[in-house]
Structure 1
Amino acid sequence: MNRASELGVKWRKSSYSGDNGGNCIEAASGFMPAIVLVRDSKDPEGPALAFPAAAFVAFVGAVKVGEFAEGEQYVTL
């Protein structure tokens, strides 16, 4: 059991995610003020990343409008 589980974090998965074991994340908000925790749904006992809530909201908004369309190439700095 990881620390987030021990502390009773409530995880949720996107309604667009199926139960087919694909590339899904789970997110938890409300646990810490202005922080969203994110983890790989295939590894629920693995690590979680913490992001400022505003950054996570901006990321989700960008995904919704297609900024990260499949096949795009990105440079990692």
Structure 2
Amino acid sequence: MEADAAKLLGAGIACLGMGLAAIGVGNIFGNFLSGALRNPSAAKEQFTNALIGAALAEGLGIFALVIAFLLVL
């Protein structure tokens, strides 16, 4: 019984990574938009970098979700 509680607690803590990944993606695109408004001519070149950064952040969020599922099983 205590092992089940520990597994669920660990899965809940792993799920924090998904929320933090969402915050990271928001920061990435918020800073991109701020920079694009300051220098519109450089926005086109930097959009690819913003997408790569968002993909990496989301990848970490998905990894946290997989770890949470593995802990629950």
TM-score, length-normalised on structure 2?
0.29
TM superposition score normalised by structure 1: 0.28
Higher Cα Rg: structure 1 or 2? 2
Q: Which has the higher contact order (CA 8 A, sep 6+)?
A: 2
Structure number having the greater helix percentage: 2
Richer in strand (by share) = 1
